[in-house]
Structure 1
Amino acid sequence: MQFPETVIGVIAAMLTSLSYIPQVKKVRAGQPTEDLSSRTLIALTSGLLLWVVYGFLKADWIIIAANITGTCLTGYVLHHKLQERQGTSKASMRRG
């Protein structure tokens, strides 16, 4: 890979893989995730994971690193979204 292509790839990878940091901060602060779509989070996390596999198949460290980061961030938010949903379901079952 030539230097300009690498720089563009690294910048693009950083922007996309770190874009979920505000959502992670929101979850860590204990704010609810009800405004986030479970289906979107599942699709995004799955897609990022497939990009990691693709990166390994292509032996492209930029693709691998960016998408491992993105998978971890979206996976963290997804995990908390699903936990929150389970907690809501259990609470409504106790009431009803």
Structure 2
Amino acid sequence: MKKIYFTITGMNHYSGSQCLKKGMTVHLEKDPDNKYDREAIRVTMEGLGKIGYVANSTNTVKGESYSAGRLYDKIGDTAKGKVKYIFDNSAVCVLKTKAQKEDVL
């Protein structure tokens, strides 16, 4: 199965990227009531709450990442991801699917 990557953006408005470590789990939750983006996907971490959103703009999506719009219909109301790469105010993660085991990612 092909891995699906996504970028967390907007982290500078919350805890910043310094709270992340490679391999950490992040939680994704659709945010249908978001007044700025009808395909918004909120990203949270246990103990911190909201840390950002899945990028949904060509200016914020990094590398081969899926935008929130491309990812929105591929997940249920919630999903999980694993941190792969960390930048100053963003991070690239890989989507965890039920078919994949956590230790394989």
Higher strand share: 2
**Shorter-chain TM-score: what band?**
under 0.3
**TM-score when scaled to structure 1?**
0.27
**TM-score when scaled to structure 2?**
0.26
Higher helix share: 1
Larger radius of gyration: 1
